[in-house]
Amino acid sequence: MFYFLSKTVGQLTNISVVYGASLTICFVLLIVKQTRKWGLVGLICVNAAILVITSIPVGDMLNRHLEQRFKRPDLSQLEVAGFITLSGVIDPKSFLKRGEVHFGASADRVFAMLEMANNYPDKPMIFSGGDGHLHDRGFSEAEVLKNWLYDSRLHRPNLYFETISRNTHENAVNTRKFAFGKWPELMQKPWVLITSAKHMPRAVGAFRQAGWNVIPYPVDRQTSDEVRLASLNVSGAITSVSRGLHEWVGLTAYYLTGRTNEWFPGPLPEDPDN
């Protein structure tokens, strides 16, 4: 039930979907004579809201707080058991329609994973993630990435793949089971968690709640430390707000349902370099 509700609510955090639906409703109201006034008012309000989030960096403000929550640690000073990289890198639609592997905006996760696989050849590297779609599409991001790495001759012997998780909570639970089955002696030591900086607070909360001792290693930062007015890039502003809103709503939902024990997970006092 949680998975279904989370995906449904997730669509409501997609501002482009909400914007398109709102415009459709307004145009329908304009067609009907009795509701024409309300349709005009709706169009003005909807487009005024879009103008606000375009001219004021609402998306940057939402994402900056997420991305600055954790600093990147100096791993050379730490003893770690292994590494976990979360999915959300490959575009499922491109693969399912054309059989092509298209890396999206979060490709830094894979680049960091491959870098760590080369730098720490004796440490296990787990890539976790199946398909986050409501219905089974016969797609698993981990399987697709594994095959692509083999075909590209980039696969490393210390790479492992957890192939069934559909969201961050399942990433934490299923990857812990996977790792415990292979390396029970390593489960009391800290593992490095690699994911996008804006996603890191929710990921850390979910992994801690699942019993993991993780060291956050955020990548894919997309905001700067400077606060400035956004350019008049409507699509960019909508995308930025949608991504930030998705994470804040996700944090709230995870906290209310017990999937994290903090609303906005942050560095622990003993976390190094944080």
The rounded distance, in Å, linking the Cα atoms of 156 and 146 is: 10
Start-to-end CA distance of the chain, whole Å, equals 36
Listed in sequence order, the residues at least 6 apart from 105 whose beta carbon sits closer than 8 Å to its beta carbon are 220, 222
* Paired strand residues for 218: 195
Q: What is the pLDDT of residue 3?
A: 56
Write down the pLDDT at residue 228. Answer: 63
Q: Among 44-58, 74-88, 92-106, name the most confident range.
A: 74-88
Q: What is the pLDDT, as a whole number, of residue 152?
A: 93
The pTM assigned to this predicted structure is 0.85
Question: Taking residues 206-216, what's their average pLDDT?
Answer: 93
Residue 34: the pLDDT is 86
State mean pLDDT over 119-145: 89
- The mean predicted confidence, pLDDT, of the chain is 87
User: Who wins on pLDDT, 272 or 244?
Assistant: 244
Q: What is the pLDDT of residue 272?
A: 46
CA distances from 6 to 39, 63, 71 (A): 31, 20, 28
* Pairing status of strand 214-219 against strand 125-128: unpaired
Instruction: With beta carbons less than 8 A apart as the criterion, state whether 81 and 123 touch.
Output: yes
Q: Determine what percent of the chain is predicted with pLDDT higher than 90.
A: 51
DSSP H or E run through 161 = strand 159-162
